[in-house]
Chain A
Amino acid sequence: MNLTRLTLYGFRNLAEQRLDFGDGLQVICGGNAQGKTNLLEAIFCLTAGRSFRSADDQILVGQTDGADEKVGYRLEGEIKRRDDALHPLLIFDQETKRRTFTLNGAPLRRVMELWAEVKAVPFVPADSLLVKGPPLLRRQFLNRFLGQKSALYRYHLQRFSTALRHRNAILKEMQRGNRGESLETWNGVYQEAAQALVDERAAAILQLAEAAQSFYRLLSRRGEAVRLAYQPASWEIGKDLAGGARREIAAGTCLFGPHLDELEIRLSGRAARFYSSEGEGRCLALALRLAEYRILCEDGGDAPLLLLDDALSELDGSRREALLDLLEPLPQSFLTTVTIDELPRRQREKASIFDVQDGEIKKRPDPAG
């Protein structure tokens, strides 16, 4: 799928403007703090329903400068797919603090409904936390990846999170000394949804590991062995229900379940979370994102949008070319860079180049005329 048009209003530092994008590589070029990442963030918001940086819509609203006070932000896009076109529209109203999301004019009840239609894979420098940060970030990565991949996963994820909140409410009551007559019943509902998530995660991680290894080899100088080890925190609920429940009642919260799973990433046999360098972490994260992208492509249907923020800076010349070679045949990808000189001439000539300065985005004229 290709983002052919984006209309911006009130988003971060970006000026009110309409942008038309082409096929293939779209290079977003500009100095630090000019708005490159904000543009990728706007595109991601419109495709995922939330930012990759902040859960707070207020932060996304542009700075007020007295006379031109922003009343919120508005993002509108046109996405061409193989057989049709989609028009997502996201509006955040500063006054009511409400966001409305519509797709082709119809309101979306849940942002996950969008994931079925529009797919996008981002990579941002902060993604090194995907490797070096807490397990929560890796679970969010898995949920987003599988949520785009499978309707059944979205169904079970939604059921699981509801069951989790209900089960927590019972355990809290029981902690206070009240009887939880329906705990056993909720165990059943909870376990069924949990098992479905665990099964899908386990299968997907195998696929992910293989693809991540091949991308890591391509991107890193040494190409060490990458292993992904899935560590579900759900098994005990079935195995030792009574003993488990006693501990859970004491804690007043669910202690077993896929909301506590860990996806351990190992590099040359050592836990990458603790032992990898900053550079290795970023490279691994990029490999994971590319793996996510490839698997989403393999499922058939339209290829997702690929949004790469400052992905070249860590790579040396030949690795840089390897990444650009990967991007070349893709229907559409976005890449930010401080200077266009980071791209070899051949790719520079084929790409659409946009210059970002102080929130203004201008398309560079095509040298061919």
Chain B
Amino acid sequence: MPVFPPSFSRLLEALHRLPGVGPKSAERIAFFLLKSSPEESEELAEAIRLARRSIRACSQCFFLSEGDPCPICRDSRRDPSFLAVVEDSRDVIAIERGGFFRGRYHVLGGALSPLDGIGPNDLRIAQLAPRLQDGQVKEVILAINPGVTGDATAIFLAKFLRALQVKVTRIARGLPVGTDLELADEVTLRLALDGRLEV
């Protein structure tokens, strides 16, 4: 084991806790920071501090935002009749990148996962109800990941929302665009067949 100065070890440990950073990457980043100018490290530290201080979850949709409500919730050109429910803020960014969805969002903050101790009360499910009260939302679109935890979350939400008497849909799953049928795997094909549409 190499013997690092204690402050360096502390930096390594802090970096290693970041997602996707292994011990080797942590070392590379730490050496880079020490070799670069002090201003560069200060700039990084300040950027982290500022982001932590000024970014909050929007009180309506829980998307990350500097102001409250967030720009999407404030935007009057958005169509209030569609509400897309997503697991994570990153999903909002993915959908926004497409630029085709003109409704608003609701960020759950995860998916049901009893193994990790995440139940319905740990997600922002109850906070959906007040958003539907004024009757402006005509359709709630569950833009939730396919997969066991996503499916369970969607089933739970569908039941919860049906009691509030609103139309609930879930995004389709099936063939990725640009793939030939013969190249698709059997499972995807099967799910695509199950979810076929009348034309």
A-to-B contact residues, CB < 8 Å? 150-152, 155, 159, 162-163, 165-167, 169-170, 173, 180-182, 185-186, 188-189, 193
Contacts and interface: CB of A to CB of B under 8 A. Distances in A.
B113 interface: yes
B134 interface: no
15 contacts: A150-B186, A151-B187, A152-B190, A166-B113, A166-B114, A166-B115, A169-B117, A181-B119, A181-B120, A181-B121, A182-B112, A182-B120, A182-B152, A185-B155, A185-B159
A163 B148 contact: yes
Question: Which of B112, B120, B121 has the most chain A CB within a 10 Å cutoff?
Answer: B112
Most A Cβ at <10 Å: residue of B115, B117, B152: B152
B148 A189 contact: yes
B120 A186 contact: no
| A150, A151, A169, A182: most-surrounded residue (chain B CB, <10 A) | A182
A293 to B, nearest CB: 22
Interface string B156-199: 10010000000000000000000000000111001000000000
A185 B190 contact: no
Contact of A166 (B120, B152, B186, B190): B152
B113 A151 contact: no
A167 B115 CA distance: 8
A249 to B, nearest CB: 13
Contacts of B186: 150-152
B152 A189 contact: yes
A173 B112 CA distance: 14
Contacts of B156: 182, 185
Contact of A151 (B119, B155, B159, B185): B185
B148 A159 contact: yes
A166 B116 CA distance: 9
B7 to A, nearest CB: 28
A186 B114 contact: yes
A186 B159 CA distance: 13
A189 B114 contact: no
Interface in B23-77: none
Interface residues of B, number: 19
B148 A185 contact: no
Q: Name A's interface SS.
A: helix
B13 interface: no
A173 B114 contact: yes
Contacts of A189: 148, 151-152, 155
A150 B186 CA distance: 9
B89 interface: no
A185 B152 contact: yes
Contacts of B187: 151-152, 155
Interface string B106-129: 000000111101011100000000
Contacts of B114: 166-167, 169-170, 173, 180, 182, 186
Contacts of B117: 169
Nearest to A162: B148
A266 to B, nearest CB: 34
Interface in B119-148: 119-121, 148
B169 to A, nearest CB: 18
A188 B148 contact: no
Interface in B5-23: none
Contact of B152 (A150, A151, A186): A186
A289 to B, nearest CB: 25
Contacts of A152: 186-187, 190
Given A151-B186, A163-B148, A188 B155 contact: yes
Nearest to B114: A169
A365 to B, nearest CB: 45
A346 B185 CA distance: 44
A285 B19 CA distance: 48
A185 B112 contact: yes
A190 to B, nearest CB: 9
A147 to B, nearest CB: 13
Contacts of B185: 151
Contacts of B152: 163, 166, 182, 185-186, 188-189
Given A162-B149, A170-B114, A188-B155, 15 more contacts: A150-B186, A151-B186, A155-B187, A162-B148, A165-B115, A169-B114, A181-B119, A182-B114, A182-B119, A185-B112, A185-B155, A185-B159, A186-B114, A186-B152, A193-B148
Contacts of B112: 182, 185-186
B148 A166 contact: yes
B113 to A, nearest CB: 7
Contacts of A151: 185-187
A180 B149 CA distance: 15
A165 B116 CA distance: 11
Nearest to B160: A185
